[in-house]
Amino acid sequence: MSKNRNLLFVPALFFIFTLLSGCGSNDADTAAQGTQGKPALDMALPKSLTGGAQSAEKPGKLLKTNASGIEGPCAFVGNNDEDPFVNGYRMTRFMVSAVATWTCIGDVLINMADFVPHDGAIYETENDTQSPDYDAEAPTHYSVTDDSDVQTTIRLYYAYDRSAPPAPGTVPQFYISWETGAEGHVKGRLIIDGAGTNPDDRDPEDPTMIRMDFSETDAEKIADMVLRFDEGNHWAEGFRIRVRKDLNANPLRQVFLARGRLEMKAQFLPTPGISEIPTVQMYTVSDRLGQGAAIAEFQDLSLPLLLNFLGGNHLGNYLFTKNDRYFFEDDSDWDWIQKTISTATYRGGRTTPAAGGSWIPFNPSLDMIISALNLDSDYFTGTKCADVNDDCTDLLNAVFVDGFAEQEPNQGADPGDWRSTAIANPVYLETIYPNGQNWDGAFDFIFNP
């Protein structure tokens, strides 16, 4: 898959990083500590997984309020305009940096609650819609309530004039609620109305609703985030990332497990003869320092292989499932890269001539492709990837094995350590939906522990 095609992922998901630019930090050597019974969402994710905290030219404005005055970067290096699926490390950084950002913002809000009234009244922030310095990306009002002795809720409101503030009971655009039990266990939920926080400056492909459920016990910390897209995004239905930290694990074995699932509406590249809907699944493990392994599995993905547009040379359209395994060190360098096409079928469209092609200009024929890719001499004939629905797994494996469209080639060897065991039988997320079936109730601004 080409870099340009893969970058279709980035604009639609980039929103979560530009929206959540509050404050916080992330360091593998600094464990999150709650104070005075407050939860701390930070998982101390290693920098090799997030890319580290990203400094900003200007401070984030998410929590620019009279009471808090809290500013600073909550963005991570995973937030950059690159192809996240070139390899398993980039995919991991892209996934995990999102969770690092969310948990950072959650901690900012939870700590802010110490400095504002908990009376449920709706207060103005410094962000006045009538001011020349008005920032549509910052809230105009906020409120905090104590729902019980152990549960607190914060609500942020955007784009309200001071002459017409939100009334009690008005649905906020940003919500976080958490409960801390007597045993110190924590449950909570954060919800963002992505369309409502800055409706005048959002891409139609951005997610419209965002939610993160978080919890902590004596044994584990979990952050489970989901993003919903609407009709403005023509190919993505929703995205889910779930990160678990084992609080009792050997720090030099599996400590973190991150799983992701991207549910699609259509192929990234609409292709004649292909109506299947793809699914992208992700599975990553890491130790405390950031050494780990990742799998990216693309199921039912289309791949048109146009060789020469002006010459009308098209090798055909293919439907395939691809499994990328990437073992990485704590400095992000690779240990082992193994990309495998498990299934591939031909779906028509081939116009490549049998012979008489050229490399320069690039307009190869089938005999040249057979030679270059070390395929059987009778490939593209009989039942060997010749007719529609024929098996073309050997062809696509040969295409990807040495690198294709700026992807890294297969290289290295299985290190045979704990990582090999940890990803031998991955259990992927089965659904993007919190209720397992649909979006019903997923983004209701309510939390009942």
Question: What Å distances lie between residue 435 and 76, 177, 270, 439, 443, CA to CA?
Answer: 30, 19, 30, 7, 11
Which of 330-344, 371-385, 399-413 shows the lowest mean pLDDT across its residues? 399-413
CA distance 131 to 125: 12
Provide the token pair at 129.
């819609």
Residue 375 φ then ψ, to 5°: -85, 165
The pLDDT of residue 83 is: 75
Q: Which residues contact 6 (CB under 8 A, 6 or more apart)?
A: 83, 84, 85, 86
The answer on pLDDT for 66 being more than 60 is no
Per-residue pLDDT, 79: 56
Spatial separation of the C-alpha atoms in residues 32 and 107, rounded to whole Å? 10
What pLDDT does 232 receive? 81
Name the pLDDT band for 54 (thresholds 50, 70, 90).
Answer: low
Using a 10 angstrom Cβ sphere, with 0-12 exposed, 13-18 middle and 19 or more buried, the burial of residue 38 is: middle
CA angle (72 as vertex; 70, 73 as ends), nearest 5: 140
* Cα separation, 255 vs 290, whole angstroms: 9
Torsion sign, CA atoms 413, 249, 435, 37: negative
| Nearest by Cα to 234 from 12, 443, 439, 434 | 12
Distance CA 346, CA 299 (A): 15
Closest CA to 305 of 295, 293, 313: 313
pLDDT at 110: 87
Check residue 73 and give its pLDDT. 56
Looking at residue 53, the DSSP 8-state letter turns out to be B
Could you tell me which of 185, 190, 250 has the C-alpha nearest to residue 221?
185
Highest average pLDDT, of 82-96, 98-112, 201-215, 415-429, comes from 415-429
Where does 21-150 show beta strands of DSSP type E? 123-124, 141-146
- Across all residues in the chain, what is the average pLDDT? 84
Termini Cα distance of the chain: 43
Helices 88-112/9-19 angle, 10° precision: 20
Pairing mode, strands 313-328 and 141-146 = unpaired
Residue 87: pLDDT band (50, 70, 90) is confident
Q: Residues with Cβ < 8 Å from 331, sequence gap 6 or more?
A: 48
- C-alpha–C-alpha distance, residues 177 and 190, integer Å: 7
Query: What's the pLDDT score for residue 84?
Result: 79
